[in-house]
Amino acid sequence: MFLHELFYQIKCSLKTKELYIWIILFPAFLGIVFKAALYDIYNRQTKFETVPAAVVTVRDDPIFSQVTKGINESEDPMFSFTFFSADEEQKALELLDSEEVGGVIYLEDELSMKVKYDGMKATMLKTFIETYTFQETIIKDAVMKDPLGYQKVADALTEDISTVTEVPLIPEGTNTNYMTQYFYNLLAMVALFGSMTGLRKTVESQANLSALGARRSCSPVKKSVTTVAGLTANFIVQSLCMVFSVTFIRFVLKVDLGDKLPMIYLTAVISGLLGVCLGFLIGSAGTFSEDSKEGISTVVSLLMCFLSGLMAGDMRIKIEDRIPIINRINPSALISDCFFSLNMFSDYSRYITDIVSILIISFIFALIGFVLTRRRKYASL
């Protein structure tokens, strides 16, 4: 009997349009948006690349020219300079406007610069100018003090030194693109949207919530069997959706989810369980219409996702600084943190805390759901 129920519940779920809309089409759409709009921002904004700059030569300064050309020709240069004469200033500004250069440096008696936006690129160019001025002054100082010995000062200044030893915090090659967290949250959203199909199943098995529920209550099948079969069917279908989502993100959108891919799949499937249980809870609580319940489940899911950073990327860390308890219990935050931990850390302690929390919350949701649906007779239908 269980298998009969299970078979038809799965068949039913697979033919539900909402499933395809909410759990497959919508996330795919968002995934494409994320990939197109956000993923490359990291490479442009955070990850270091050579900063291009334009130099407008108002006054000839052979030393400056030599230094900048030296940088241009060095390996892995920090900056790359393009030179313009004073008459060509407009050209340089056009490059700035189209963001092909980070700033326009004016080589006058005193160095100055024009930028379009604030930001790290501009800051770095500014620092370059300051450094140049700084070194120039130190050498001038030295020449004044010891006109013959200044060369060793100059050598010392231009010598490539490295005062900082870098210790890697995380394994080399880890994906540190913080835009990836949008995809972690997207997966969390897919998992929580599973509540929509979950609540449908619940409504369809409750005599007081739907005609179908009443009809099924008249059959000689135990209610617990019907309920568990429905939830299992849901979970199986939800797992398929989660696997699809991970596959889509990893292989179609080509987002780097780290090298523990089997674990990612497993985590996705477990988070799906949380969504199903949430749906069971919402479905069994109260007697409002299925439409309102669906509305509630969408709003609740999106609110959770908002708090874990689906919309404003660094929400999670802001909450961590202010009210960390939310991150410990917000299902969406726990799910996205699982993916984050799998990607970031080689040890599993944080991951295990997260996944255990997910299982506990699922269990609590399911338990409340069972308590609420244990009634077999109703005061009114």
Partner 1 sequence: MENTIVKIEGLVKRYSELIALDHLDLEIKEGEVFGLLGPNGSGKTTTINCLLSLLSFDKGSIEIFGRKMSPTAYDIKRDIGVIMQNVAVYEELSVYDNIDYFCGLYVKDKAVRKQYVEDAVKFVGLEEFLKFKPKKLSGGLFRRLNIACGIAHKPRLIILDEPTVAVDPQSRNKILEGIEELNRNGATIIYTSHYMEEVEQICTRIAIMDKGKKIAEGTKDELKRTIKNTETVTIEILSLPEKVREETGSLPHVYSAEYDGARLTVRCSGGKHNLIRILEVLQKNELSFGRVYTELPTLNDVFLEITGKALRDKED
Partner 2 sequence: MQVFKAFFKVLRTKLTMAMIMMAVFIFIAVAYARTSSPTQKAFEDSRLNIALTDNDDTPESRSLIAFIGQKHNIVDPDPDMDRNIDRLYYGHLDCMLTIKKGYAEALKEGRTDDLFESKRMHDSYANIYILSRLDQYVGGVRASMLSGSSLDEAVSRTEELLSKEAKVSYADLNTRDDPEFSRTFSNYFQYMPYILIASVISALSPVLMAMQRREIRYRTGCSCIRSSSYFFQLILGSTAFVAVLWLIYMVVGIFLKGGMYEGKAWFAVLNSLVFSFVCTAMAILIATLTDNSRVVSFLTQILSLGMSFFCGIFVPLSIMGEGIKKIGRLLPAYWYISINDMLCGRETLESSKMISCFVIEALFGIVMAGAALVISRYSRDRI
Nearer to partner 1, 207 or 355 (CB): 207
Question: What DSSP character marks residue 50?
Answer: P
Q: How far is the CB of 249 from partner 2 (least distance, A)?
A: 16
Query: Which H helix or E strand runs over 259?
Result: none
Q: Is 380 in the site for partner 1 (CB under 8 A)?
A: yes
Say how far apart CA 186 and CA 195 lie, in whole Å. Answer: 15
Residues in contact with 22: Cβ distance below 8 Å, sequence separation at least 6, in sequence order: 193, 196
Nearest to 374 by CA among 248, 239, 259, 208: 208
Residue from 148, 167, 218, 325 binding partner 2 (CB under 8 A): 167
Q: Does 217 bind partner 1 (CB under 8 A)?
A: yes
Q: Which of 114, 223, 260, 328 binds partner 1 (CB under 8 A)?
A: 223
User: Longest C-alpha distance within the chain, in Å?
Assistant: 106
From partner 2, partner 1, none, interface partner of 283 (C-beta below 5 to 8 A by class): none
Binding partner 2 by CB under 8 A: which of 66, 131, 247, 287?
A: 131
Q: Using an 8 Å Cβ cutoff, are 198 and 277 in contact?
A: yes
Check binding of 29 to partner 1 (CB under 8 A).
no
Taken as a whole, the chain contains a residue count of: 381
Q: Is 93 in the site for partner 2 (CB under 8 A)?
A: yes
If one asks whether residue 11 binds partner 1 (CB under 8 A), the answer comes out as: yes
List 40, 215, 292, 299, residue binding partner 1 (CB under 8 A):
215
Q: Does 45 contact partner 2 by CB under 8 A?
A: yes
200: three-class secondary structure by DSSP:
helix
> Is position 149 an interface residue for partner 2 (rule: CB under 8 A)?
yes
Torsion angle of C-alpha atoms 97, 98, 102, 105, degrees rounded to 10: -50
Size of the residue set binding partner 2 (CB under 8 A):
100
| Comparison of 11 and 47: residue with beta carbon closer to partner 2 | 47
Residue 12 contacts which entry, partner 1, partner 2, none (Cβ below 5-8 A, type-dependent) = partner 1
How many C-alpha atoms does 176 have within 13 Å on its Cβ side? 11
Among 56, 207, 278, 366, indicate the residue that binds partner 1 (CB under 8 A): 207
Site for partner 2 in 268-327 (CB under 8 A): 291-292, 294-296, 298-299, 302-303, 306, 311-318, 320-322
C-alpha to C-alpha distances, 213 to 49, 98, 177, 207, 223, nearest whole angstrom = 61, 63, 48, 4, 10
DSSP state of 323: -
373 Cα distance to chain centroid: 37
Beta carbon nearer to partner 2, 163 or 379:
163
| Sheet with 79-85, edge to edge strand ranges | 79-85, 51-57, 104-107
Residue closer to partner 2 by CB (options 150, 370) is 150
Exactly one of 37, 170, 211, 329 binds partner 1 (CB under 8 A); which one?
211
Is position 380 an interface residue for partner 2 (rule: CB under 8 A)?
A: no
Please choose which of partner 2, partner 1, none residue 36 contacts, taking the beta carbon within 5 to 8 angstroms, the exact cut-off set by kind: partner 2
- Nearest partner of 358 among 380, 328, 381, 324, judged by Cα: 328
Looking at 58, 71, 138, 285, which residue binds partner 2 (CB under 8 A)? Answer: 138
Q: Is 377 in the site for partner 1 (CB under 8 A)?
A: yes
Question: Which listed range, 66-74, 103-111, 220-228, 273-281, lies at the site for partner 2 (CB under 8 A)?
Answer: 103-111
Exposed (0-12), middle (13-18) or buried (19+): which is 322, by Cβ within 10 Å?
exposed
Is 137 a binder of partner 2 (CB under 8 A)?
yes
Q: Which of 62, 147, 220, 324 binds partner 1 (CB under 8 A)?
A: 220
Note whether 267 and 243 are within 8 A (CB). Answer: no
Interatomic CA distance for residues 4 and 60, integer angstroms: 88
Q: Using the rule CB under 8 A, is 114 a contact of partner 2?
A: yes
Where on the chain is the footprint of partner 1 (CB under 8 A)?
1, 4-5, 8, 11-13, 15-16, 204, 207, 210-212, 214-223, 376-381
